[in-house]
Amino acid sequence: MIKSIASILLTASVAVATWAGRAEACGCFAPPDPTVPVVQAGERILFATANGQVTAHIQIQYAGDAKDFGWLLPVPSIPTLKVGTEELFTQLIATTQPRYFVQVRATGNCSGLFPGGFANAAPSARGAEDAEFGGGGSPLVIQSSIGPYDYAVLKADDKTAMLKWLADNRYFIPVGTEDVVGPYIRQGAFFLALKLQSGKSAGDIQPVVLQYPSDLPMIPIILTSVAAQPNMGIQVWMLGNGRAIPRNYRHVVINDSQLDWFNSAQNYNDVVIKAVSEAPEKHAFVTEYAGTSDVMKDVLDGPTRFGSQAALAALTDPAAFVEYLFENGYAPVPPNQGGRFAPSQQVLPPNLKALVLGAIPFPSGLKGVTTEDQFLSQLRFYLGDYRTRNPGLFVGYQTNFVAASLAGEIFEKVVKPAREAGALFKQYPTLTRLYTTLSPQDMTRDPVFSYNPSLPEVSRDHNATYEVNCGIAGSQFTSPGRLITEQGWSIKYPNGRSSDPERALAQGPSALRVETLAEEGAPIVDLDNTAPIRQVQGCGGCSAVDPLGLGLLALAAFLRRRRAS
């Protein structure tokens, strides 16, 4: 029995933006690695749990007017609250995103063969002492502010009193909240409510970090259904001492013969949606990565990153100050991009960019001439030679730049959250990434997460082989061949890999297995689709090297030999 469930997930107003709509979160990076499938997640959370304490970093994705932003979530106890960093999620995605590769094994004269084989592509919060405490019949426990937010912690023992307080204090309440908040109303529980401070915009939204005592982390998906989109993606990263599992949801292993391997599995999300739908109540997660947390070690908090506050504060020339930011890792590039960009090609992340532009504003005369990002990356040029040659564009232009003051803000609001997030990956040895999709009508049970250290690791990298005999003057693109997936399924391409396969990829089950994962021991297989998938495969599938199928066949042969002897 769970003594107290940690409940973390946003319930936002009007619209929750997908990752693709978050220009401020990905605009500073190169085009995504083409070996990874495109996945748009509506919710992203990192949980770290140890000794009955949960730390939750929550990315808030929102599109709409600031006045319509509302965030309400149930918590088992009064939390401590901080502002996090968007870069945590950008880097987590880059280091754990599944990748799909195809290597060619060819005989004959394959004029189209790439050298070395074919791959898809080259690869601070104010504490309770500062808060205002409610009394009497009010549900208010704490009312304060942090970063761009005003927030309140409310008792969750009276739904009517709580919702009235939120409405009276101008906290946006999404339509339908009253209908789904009931399961979270009980004595001893609380709600955390956030809204943007007056004068803030949706672009000021930052991740939040909560810490609270709890046995296990949980996502209040029932409450989230108020603002959810159909087939909304939910990505959960778990830090701990072993591989994480969905405790009360099933686990799904997808059928990789349905993936479009030659196009970097760009249909991956569609396959996951279908595979999850084959689990009871559509309640299941896929494990996308489980292994060492070292993949994130020093990514956010490298020993030389950010330089020093004293050195930054000493740079009283605005151009030198901003150049220091670019030269010391304030405009990060994800690991899979290899740090290929010169400062003129980089952009500062949104929260840092807002701080810098607050002190060194973008000249109104440059609108239509250049962008804010180009202005900052080439600040010496624009405030120097360009200003001298075009004085009319800078009439009345003034800055509010004070190096020491801006450096202090940057270290408090940018550097400190990044270093605190980075420290987690040195504290916990194992990182797990889980993914699912849910539609509002399926959000009927709150997923709870735990650990099973005995389960094997799951690699982010997946490999298939394309076998082709090009003949005397053929090409790997036009000669008949077959793709052998990582699970051993065989898919024929009678007219070459540039054509359609012999059968539609979407045929048959999308889940290879539906499993129950416990906190110890091996997975319990609830549904094994090896036979129906083999039937869809036809003769090509009959020779597939399916590890589970081969194991069962070997066991049957062994038993036959024993009986014969």
Task: Encode pLDDT of 20-67 as tens digits.
Answer: 222 222 222 223 455 566 555 578 999 999 888 999 999 987 777 888
Mean pLDDT of 198-211: 89
Q: Are 289 and 458 in contact, with CB atoms under 8 Å apart?
A: yes
Distance, in Å, from the CA atom of 132 to the CA atom of 79, rounded to the nearest integer, reads: 15
d(C-alpha 250, C-alpha 436), whole Å: 11
Tell me which amino acid residue 159 is: K
- Cβ within 8 Å of residue 142, ≥6 positions away: 78, 128, 131, 132, 133, 151, 152, 153
Question: In angstroms, rounded to a whole number, what is the distance separating the alpha carbons of residues 171 and 145?
Answer: 13
Pick from 262, 253, 252, 254: nearest CA to 491: 262
Nearest to 268 by CA among 490, 96, 36, 502: 36
Closest by alpha carbon to 258, among 505, 9, 553, 543?
505
The reported pTM is 0.83
CA proximity to 298, closest of 91, 30, 461, 459: 91
In the Cβ-directed half-sphere of 473, how many Cα atoms lie within 13 Å? 0
Question: Which pLDDT value is given to residue 543?
Answer: 42
Res. 15 pLDDT band, cuts 50 70 90: very low
Look at residue 402 in the predicted model and tell me its pLDDT.
98
What's the whole-number mean pLDDT along residues 461-486?
84
Q: What is the pLDDT of residues 211-239, one digit of tens each?
A: 999 989 999 999 988 878 899 999 999 99
Q: What is the mean pLDDT of the chain?
A: 83
Q: Does 541 score more than 60 pLDDT? A: no
Q: pLDDT-based confidence at 202, cuts 50/70/90?
A: confident
Please report which confidence band the pLDDT of residue 291 belongs to, taking 50, 70 and 90 as the band edges: very high
DSSP code of residue 133: P
Kindly list the distances between the CA atom of residue 306 and the CA atoms of 101, 265, 334, 445, in Å, as whole numbers in the listed order: 35, 37, 16, 43
Extended strands (E) in 179-248: 190-196, 208-213, 216-218, 232-240, 244-246
Of residues 500 and 410, the one with the higher pLDDT is 410
Average of pLDDT values for 277-304?
96
Q: pLDDT at residue 132 above 80?
A: no
Report how far residue 492's alpha carbon sits from residue 503's, in angstroms, rounded to the nearest whole number: 8
pLDDT tens-digit readout, 369-421 = 999 999 999 999 999 999 999 999 999 999 999 999 999 999 999 999 999 99
The residues, ordered by sequence, that sit 6+ positions from 286 with a Cβ below 8 Å of its Cβ are 251, 252, 253, 254, 272, 275, 276, 434, 435, 436
Stronger pLDDT, 415 or 477, i.e. the higher one: 415
